[in-house]
Amino acid sequence: MSSKKYRLIKLVNDKFKGTHPNNIEVGDAWHSDLNLTPVIGESFHFGPTDMWDKYNHIWTSAVTEILEDGVFKTKNSTYKIEKL
């Protein structure tokens, strides 16, 4: 089993004030062994190659902007991908 080499962290709750409807809050993190790239206009899927690990996956709303390398905004939030 390979170690997880990347982490996705939610940085900002841009749209929702208070609790996110899917309980995805600032500081939440997911880990993956894949280096994935967000694409503007598409939902971003981040998670391990084992699709049965449903508790460590996230599908964001559509990506609206790439702010800098590894940092992007969606319709609802801002995320950062970090290499571990």
Q: Where are the domains of the chain?
A: 6-83
Q: What pLDDT sits at residue 53? A: 59
- Residues 41 and 28: their CA atoms lie apart, in Å, by 23
- At residue 1, the pLDDT reads 44
Higher-scoring residue by pLDDT: 14, 76: 76
Residue range 27-81, pLDDT digits in tens: 888 888 877 889 999 999 887 666 555 567 788 989 999 999 899 999 889 999 9
Give the C-alpha separation, 18 to 30, whole Å: 21
pTM above threshold 0.85: no
Q: What is the DSSP letter of 55?
A: G
Determine the pLDDT at residue 21. 64
